[in-house]
Amino acid sequence: MSVLSDRLKQLREDKGWSQTYVSERLGIKRSSTYANWEYGIRDPDTETLVKLAQIFEVTTDYLTGASDIIQFPQLDELDRELFQAIRSLSKEDKEYVLGFIQRIRNK
Q: How many CB atoms lie within 10 A of CB 7?
A: 19
Residue 51 confidence class, pLDDT cut points 50, 70, 90: very high
Instruction: For residue 44, give the CATH number of its domain.
Output: 1.10.260.40
Phi, psi (rounded to 5 degrees) for 24: -65, -40
The count of domains in the chain is: 2
Read off the pTM: 0.68
pLDDT digits (tens, 9 = 90+) for 81-106: 888 888 888 999 999 999 999 999 88
Q: 107 with 60, same domain?
A: no
Check whether residue 57 and residue 7 sit in a common domain: yes
In tens, the pLDDT along 2-39 reads: 999 999 999 999 999 999 999 999 999 999 999 999 99
**Average pLDDT of 73-81?**
80
Does 15 share its domain with 40? yes
